[in-house]
Amino acid sequence: MLGWQIDHTWRYDPALLTEVELTFAPTDTGGTRVTLEHRNLERFGSDAARHAERLGGGWPARLAEFAEYANANP
């Protein structure tokens, strides 16, 4: 688990703490399923919904980039 202390403006905020957890599990086809959960987004306060929407678009894109790299570099 990773403590995430980046605010809605993408700056470090020592007073803000959300959690990012990555899990890895084997698949039946020999690959790896990666699951990412970003918790406690309500701690962003009034910017929570807007920031969650941006992260929702961001995390899947980042994971897709990692998968593409991993598949190209076995």
Which pLDDT value is given to residue 19? 93
Asked whether residue 56 carries a pLDDT value surpassing 90, the answer given is: no
**Tens digits of residue pLDDT in 22-47:** 999 999 999 888 888 889 988 988 88
Q: What's the mean per-residue pLDDT of the chain?
A: 86
Q: How confident is the model at residue 14 (pLDDT cuts 50, 70, 90)?
A: very high
Beta bridge mates, 33: 25
Has this prediction a pTM greater than 0.85? no
Map out the domains of the chain as residue ranges.
2-72
User: CB of 38 within 8 A of CB of 55?
Assistant: yes
CA pair distance 36, 21, nearest whole angstrom: 6
Give the pLDDT of residue 57: 66
